[in-house]
Amino acid sequence: MPVLLKNATYIDWKTLEFSHVNILIEKDNNPVQFIENIRQVHDQPDLEVLDCKGRLVTKSFAVGHHHVYSTLSRGMDAPKKNPENFFEILKYVWWTLDKCLDLEMIESSALVTAIACAKAGSTFVIDHHSSPFAVIGSLETIAKAFDKVGVSHLLCYEISDRDGVNITREGFEETEAYLRNHQGLVGLHASFTVGNETLNQAAELMTQFNSGIHIHVAEDLYDQDFCLRNFGKRVIERLNESGVLKSSKTILAHCLHLDESEKDIIRNSPCWVVQNTESNMNNNVGRFNGAHLGSNIMLGTDGMHSDMLQSAKAAFFAGQGFDSINYSSAYQRFRNIHRYLNENNFNGDCENNLIVLDYNTPTEINRDNFCGHFIFGINSNHINDVISNGKIIVKNRLIQTVNEAEILKVSKECANRLWKKMAI
Ligand SMILES: [Zn+2]
C-alpha cells in the first residue's frame, strides 16, 4: 500500500535542505516522489495518507553495531564475581549470559530490539550475535523477528574458539547456512578468541560469499597484548595478513588501541570502523579517536540501547578535548552507515525509509543550524512515525506491525528464566 505524507517539512539528509512538500512513498525500491497535486494521488484506492501538519520528515536511521543477545540483561543481578577488568567483564557477564540463551530467548530479544530500534527511528540494524549453546537457527530466528517488526538487518554469528571446536564448527555451519539465503556478514568475536585456523576459514567463507567480516578490534589493550604475545604481531597486522580487510563490507568495531601503522592500514583499506562511545565508557576501556582512521567511520550502540540519536550525542560529548568531532562531523558519522549499506548494495536502506519528527523547537530550525538541533534538541522522544521500506511501522509513537504489550510480557518471562539459569 503506497503512503502519502501530506504537508511535510522535508529535510534532505545529505544536503540538509528544507522543503515543504507532499511525499509519495512506495513499498518497492522506487524513489520517493515529491507531489505537487495531491488530488491526483488521492484517487489511488489503497493509498494510506498521513497528515504531517508541517512536521519535519527525514531519512530514518540505522545502527552500525548492535547485540540482540544482550537485550534481556537490563536490570539483572550483579555477576558472581565483581569484574575487575575487560576480560572479566566478558567472562563473568557476557560469556555467562550468552551461554544460557535458547532460541526462545533469542526470538524474544530480537523482537524487543527491533521494536526499540524502530521507535527510536532506526529501520536498519547491523547485529553481531552470540549464543554458544543455541547456535544453529539463531540467525534465522533473529531475521524472522526483525522481519515481523519491519526492521531491515545485516546479521552475523560471532564465531569464536573460546567454547571449543564443536561450537566453532557450529558457528561456521550457521553462518554458511544463513549466507546461502540472506544478506549477512561472517562474524568473528575478536582476535584474542580466534585462532589462525578459524581466522583463515572465516576469510575463505567471506570470499566465497563475497561478504565481509564483522569483528571487535582493540576494544581493550588486552586484545593487542594477547596478539603480540601469541602471534608476534598487532591485531590489525594479523587481520590484514588474513585478507579480511580487503572487503568494503568488513566492519571493525571499537578500534580504540591502535598504533599509527595500524591506522595507516585501515585508512588505506576499504573497510569500516564502528564507534561505540557509551559501551567504551561503561567498560572503562578507553576513548575513541577518529584521527588518521579515514572517513569510513560509523556509529553503533554495542547492545547498550537502540537509540542512535543518543549514540551520536555521546560521540560528540565524549570526544570533546580528545577526538576531533564537531556538530557536523558527529552528524556525518551518524549518517555514514547509509554509505556503507548503499555502496555495498545491501537491501533495505533505500530512500523509502523515513521518519516524522514531532519537534516543536523554541528557536528557528533551518539548514544552517540543523546540526546544532541534532546535538542539543532532537531526541528519540520526538519520533512520531516511522516508515520502513515504504510501510508505516510506527504511527503516533505506537508500533503497528506487532503486539508490543504481548512481546514485553514474554520478554519478562524469558528474562526471568535467563537470570535463573545464569545464577546456577
Ligand atoms: Zn560489540
Task: Tell me, in angstroms, the distance from the centre of ligand 1 to residue 364's CA.
Answer: 38
Grid coordinates given for 406: 504481548
Other C-beta atoms closer than 10 Å to the C-beta of 21 total 19
Pairing of strands 186-190, 251-254: unpaired
Q: How far apart are CA 381 and CA 120, in angstroms?
A: 8
Beta strands in 17-175 (DSSP E): 18-25, 33-35, 48-51, 56-59, 61-66, 122-127, 152-154, 158-159
Give the per-residue pLDDT at 424.
79
Task: Tell me, in angstroms, the distance from the centre of ligand 1 to residue 124's CA.
Answer: 17
The answer to whether 222 touches 87, Cβ cutoff 8 Å, is yes
The answer to whether 116 touches 397, Cβ cutoff 8 Å, is no
Task: Tell me, in angstroms, the distance from the centre of ligand 1 to residue 252's CA.
Answer: 10
Which positions ≥6 away from 34 have C-beta within 8 Å? Answer: 10, 19, 21, 22, 23, 24
Task: Tell me, in angstroms, the distance from the centre of ligand 1 to residue 253's CA.
Answer: 7
Task: Tell me, in angstroms, the distance from the centre of ligand 1 to residue 175's CA.
Answer: 18
Q: What is the CA radius of gyration of the chain?
A: 21
Task: Tell me, in angstroms, the distance from the centre of ligand 1 to residue 5's CA.
Answer: 36
Q: How far apart are CA 299 and CA 63, in angstroms?
A: 7
The answer to whether 70 touches 112, Cβ cutoff 8 Å, is no
Task: Tell me, in angstroms, the distance from the centre of ligand 1 to residue 277's CA.
Answer: 11
Give the per-residue pLDDT at 29.
65
Task: Tell me, in angstroms, the distance from the centre of ligand 1 to residue 280's CA.
Answer: 10
- In order of 35, 48, 60, 235, the CA distances from 29 in angstroms are 17, 18, 15, 39
Task: Tell me, in angstroms, the distance from the centre of ligand 1 to residue 368's CA.
Answer: 35
Task: Tell me, in angstroms, the distance from the centre of ligand 1 to residue 398's CA.
Answer: 29
Pairing of strands 354-357, 56-59: antiparallel
Pairing of strands 48-51, 3-11: parallel
Q: Which residues pair with 61 in a beta bridge?
A: 122
The answer to whether 151 touches 393, Cβ cutoff 8 Å, is yes
The answer to whether 163 touches 170, Cβ cutoff 8 Å, is no
Each residue's pLDDT tens digit in the chain (424 positions)?
Answer: 889 999 999 999 999 999 999 999 987 666 778 877 777 677 777 889 999 999 999 999 999 999 999 999 999 998 888 899 999 999 889 999 999 999 999 999 999 999 999 999 999 999 999 999 999 999 999 999 999 999 999 999 999 999 999 999 999 999 999 999 999 999 999 999 999 999 999 999 999 999 999 999 999 999 999 999 999 999 999 999 999 999 999 999 999 999 999 999 999 999 999 999 999 999 999 999 999 999 999 999 999 999 999 999 999 999 999 999 999 999 999 999 999 999 999 999 999 999 999 999 999 999 999 999 999 999 999 999 999 999 999 999 999 999 999 999 999 999 999 999 998 7
Task: Tell me, in angstroms, the distance from the centre of ligand 1 to residue 23's CA.
Answer: 37
Give the per-residue pLDDT at 37.
72
Q: How far apart are CA 180 and CA 198, in angstroms?
A: 20
The answer to whether 186 touches 214, Cβ cutoff 8 Å, is yes
Q: Sort residue 224 into left (φ over 0), alpha (ψ -120 to 50) or beta.
A: alpha
Give the per-residue pLDDT at 41.
72
Q: Sort residue 121 into left (φ over 0), alpha (ψ -120 to 50) or beta.
A: left
